[in-house]
């Protein structure tokens, strides 16, 4: 575990160095007006991006190489928003995301694409003026690009070793504002702590491409003022956990038997842990 943590730290250092040398302020030229193109033709750019990203992941053997090439591809995708306008039209007419949309943690999240082999996912986030998220970690590495407006990203370093449950000490490492076609990156767990917000008085859109490495159906949020860590679950999972906790409080005599029956082999490990914590409290 310690060796893996050191590897991620080294990768993080390399990518931060390369960010300063190669990518700071990188803005690609805007393509000519495509007003005469059909919706399908405008979406071709996005479909081409997905194919190139898939190809890149199969070719690259290192995280550093994958992130750097991924940033180039995302910068190119976010240099022109016309393909996303076509996607928004499909959202409004209830044509988009059929079969791939799932309830995520964030209410402003849109699932645009899931690769057939589950190697990566493309998400869009639409940010209202002044909207911000909270400091959080990730279950893999990813590339984030601004498509429209201006996005601010603050990166954080975790100072404690993470062994104390629910506790954290953080230090702000960077504070950048990213315009269209400018990108940033995240790494797994404590090496990818950041928070993003809309840095302008208009709508902003970010495109986030993630490659999941850790089988965990939650992320963690961090409150540096309170030095507190909290688990965040997707809506469906959260509803199940809230139902378990409510039943345990309202009818503890029946809950133990119900939870023991529900703890079958098909129950995911992270949910088993949550169920077992409730059972432990009931036994106390």
Give residues with Cβ within 8 angstroms of 243, minimum separation 6.
none
Euclidean distance between the first and the last CA atom of the chain, given in angstroms as a whole number = 32
Question: What is the pLDDT at residue 254?
Answer: 79
Q: How far apart are CA 196 and CA 18, in angstroms?
A: 21
Question: At 15, phi and psi to the nearest 5?
Answer: -65, -35
Q: How far apart are CA 28 and CA 75, in angstroms?
A: 7
Same domain for 140 and 107:
yes
Same domain for 275 and 135:
no
Same domain for 51 and 153:
yes
Domain end marker among 216, 232, 248: 232
Report how far apart, in Å, the C-alpha atoms of 22 and of each of 26, 59, 269 are: 8, 21, 41
Same domain for 150 and 244:
no
Same domain for 27 and 76:
yes
Question: At 240, phi and psi to the nearest 5?
Answer: -65, -45
Question: What is the pLDDT at residue 210?
Answer: 97
Sign of the torsion angle spanned by Cα atoms 63, 66, 71, 72: positive
Question: What is the pLDDT at residue 262?
Answer: 81
Same domain for 271 and 214:
no
Cα atoms in the 13 Å half-sphere on the side-chain side of 13: 6
Domain ranges, residue 278? 235-283
Quickly tell me which residue has 């688990």 as its tokens. Answer: 231
Q: How far apart are CA 146 and CA 110, in angstroms?
A: 15
The count of domains in the chain is 2
Same domain for 249 and 265:
yes
User: DSSP of the chain, one letter per residue?
Assistant: -HHHHHHHHHHHHHHHHHIIIIITT--PPPPPP-TTS-HHHHHHHHHHHHHHHHHHHHH--SHHHHHHHHHHHHHHHTT--HHHHHHHHHHHTT-TTTTT----SSTTEEEEEE-TTSS-EEEEEEE-TT-B---B--SEEEEEEEEES-EEEEEEEE-S-S-STTB--EEEEEEEEE-BT-EEEE-SGGGG-EEEEE-SSS-EEEEEEEEE-S--S-EEEEETTTTEEEEE--HHHHHHHHHHHHHHHH-HHHHHHHHHHH--TTS-HHHHHHHHHHHHHHH-
Question: What is the pLDDT at residue 103?
Answer: 58
Domain end marker among 232, 249, 270: 232
Same domain for 248 and 183:
no
Question: What CATH number has the domain bearing residue 23?
Answer: 2.60.120.10
pTM reported for the whole predicted model? 0.79
Same domain for 241 and 227:
no
> Please, which residues bridge with residue 171 across strands?
157
Question: What is the pLDDT at residue 253?
Answer: 81
Same domain for 120 and 260:
no
Same domain for 36 and 92:
yes
Same domain for 202 and 252:
no
Max Cα distance, the chain (Å): 69
Question: What is the pLDDT at residue 116?
Answer: 93
Domain end marker among 232, 251, 268: 232
Question: What is the pLDDT at residue 5?
Answer: 55
Question: What is the pLDDT at residue 13?
Answer: 63
pLDDT tens per residue across all 284 residues of the chain: 445 555 666 666 666 555 544 433 333 334 444 455 676 777 888 999 999 999 999 999 899 999 999 999 999 999 989 899 888 887 777 666 544 565 578 888 999 999 999 999 999 999 999 999 999 999 999 999 999 999 999 999 999 999 999 999 999 999 999 999 999 999 999 999 999 999 999 999 999 999 988 888 889 999 999 999 999 988 777 788 888 888 888 888 878 888 888 877 777 777 777 888 888 888 87
């Amino acid at each position: 575990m310690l060796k893996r943590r050191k590897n991620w730290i080294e990768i993080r250092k390399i990518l931060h160095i390369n960010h300063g040398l190669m990518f700071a302020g990188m803005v690609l030229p805007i393509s000519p007006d495509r007003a005469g193109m059909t919706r399908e033709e405008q979406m071709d750019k996005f479909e081409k991006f997905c194919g190139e990203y898939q190809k890149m992941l199969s070719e690259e053997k290192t995280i550093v190489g994958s992130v750097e090439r991924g940033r180039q591809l995302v910068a190119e995708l976010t240099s022109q928003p016309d393909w996303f306008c076509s996607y928004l039209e499909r959202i409004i007419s209830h044509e988009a995301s059929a079969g791939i949309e799932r309830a995520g943690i964030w209410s402003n999240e849109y699932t645009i694409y899931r690769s057939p082999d589950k190697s990566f996912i493309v998400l869009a986030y639409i940010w209202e003026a002044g909207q911000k998220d909270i400091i959080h970690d990730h279950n893999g590495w990813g590339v984030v690009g601004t498509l429209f407006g201006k996005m601010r990203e603050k990166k954080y370093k975790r100072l404690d070793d993470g062994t104390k449950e629910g506790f954290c000490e953080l230090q702000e490492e960077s504070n950048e504002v990213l315009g269209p076609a400018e990108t940033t990156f995240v790494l797994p767990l404590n090496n990818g702590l950041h928070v993003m917000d809309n840095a302008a008085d208009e709508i902003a859109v970010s495109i986030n491409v993630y490659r999941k490495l850790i089988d965990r159906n939650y992320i963690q949020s961090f409150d540096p003022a309170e030095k507190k860590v909290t688990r965040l679950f997707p809506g469906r999972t959260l509803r199940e956990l809230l139902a378990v906790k409510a039943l345990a409080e309202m009818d503890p005599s029946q809950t133990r038997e119900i939870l023991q029956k529900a703890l079958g082999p098909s129950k995911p490990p992270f949910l088993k842990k949550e169920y077992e914590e409730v059972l432990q409290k009931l036994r106390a």
